[in-house]
């Protein structure tokens, strides 16, 4: 039987510290991918992911069950990534590591030149969006997160999320030259 995030958080708070590993395992890939998008480096993303989970563990006492755990975790991770970017980000690193990002895609994409080119084009277009808009689209369509969760993460109303998604998709179409 899979335990809910809230059940695991309660167990960790009650002293079952080893239960935290379940949360790490459950969300490690999502956090890593977010850090990778910000750092454009596997090594930096791995370090950043570890740091995020250390912070999550330290701040677990502040988590309130009215918010989904994923939304709380992702908000914390997003804030960490933004802070990191302000300190470490440089345009040269971004360009130098862009090719490495494509290598991390699925095997189907790596071995299909047309899909690889389409993926590269989409990644470049996504990079052209503001950070919030890019994350909103990735969370909604790649990670299939609900409008409600997105509203919690970005601290806006559900209708604002819907409007931002619509505008972001329009902007993405413009960047891709599809309008």
Listed in sequence order, the residues at least 6 apart from 63 whose beta carbon sits closer than 8 Å to its beta carbon are 9, 69, 72
Looking at the structure, tell me whether residues 54 and 82 fall in a common domain. Answer: yes
Looking at the structure, tell me whether residues 82 and 136 fall in a common domain. Answer: no
Domain of residue 79: give its range: 1-104
The CATH code of the domain that includes 148 is: 1.10.10.10
Give the per-residue pLDDT at 94.
43
**148 contacts 158 by C-beta, under 8 angstroms:** yes
Q: What angle do CA 69, 75, 79 make, to 5 degrees?
A: 150
The CATH code of the domain that includes 15 is: 1.10.1740.10
> Rounded CA gap, 52 and 76, in Å?
8
Looking at the structure, tell me whether residues 85 and 15 fall in a common domain. Answer: yes
Query: How many domains in the chain?
Result: 2
Looking at the structure, tell me whether residues 99 and 112 fall in a common domain. Answer: no
Looking at the structure, tell me whether residues 99 and 115 fall in a common domain. Answer: no
Give the per-residue pLDDT at 143.
84
**84 contacts 63 by C-beta, under 8 angstroms:** no
Pick the closest to residue 85 from 37, 51, 128 (CA basis): 37
> Rounded CA gap, 45 and 86, in Å?
15
> Rounded CA gap, 100 and 40, in Å?
8
Give the per-residue pLDDT at 176.
82
Give the per-residue pLDDT at 81.
94
Q: What is the mean pLDDT of each run of 10 residues along the chain (179 residues)?
A: 90 94 96 92 90 95 91 95 75 43 54 74 84 88 88 91 89 79
Looking at the structure, tell me whether residues 81 and 127 fall in a common domain. Answer: no
Looking at the structure, tell me whether residues 53 and 97 fall in a common domain. Answer: yes
Measured over the CA atoms of residue 119, residue 121, residue 127 and residue 129, the dihedral's sign is negative
Give the per-residue pLDDT at 102.
44
């Amino acid at each position: 039987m899979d335990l809910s995030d809230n059940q695991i958080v309660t167990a960790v708070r009650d002293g079952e510290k080893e239960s935290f590993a379940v949360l790490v395992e459950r969300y490690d890939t999502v956090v890593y991918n977010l850090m990778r998008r910000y750092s454009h480096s596997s090594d930096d993303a791995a370090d950043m992911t570890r740091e995020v989970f250390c912070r999550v563990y330290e701040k677990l006492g502040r988590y309130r069950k009215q918010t989904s755990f994923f939304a709380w975790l992702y908000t914390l991770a997003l804030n960490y990534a933004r802070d990191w970017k302000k300190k470490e980000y440089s345009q040269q690193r971004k360009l130098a590591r862009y090719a490495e990002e494509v290598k991390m895609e699925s095997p189907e994409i790596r071995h299909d030149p047309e899909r690889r080119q389409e993926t590269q084009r989409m990644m470049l277009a996504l990079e052209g969006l503001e950070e919030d808009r890019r994350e909103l689209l990735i969370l909604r369509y790649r990670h299939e997160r609900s409008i409600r969760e997105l509203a919690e993460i970005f601290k806006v109303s559900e209708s604002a999320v819907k409007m931002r998604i619509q505008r972001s998709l329009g902007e993405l179409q413009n960047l891709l030259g599809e309008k």
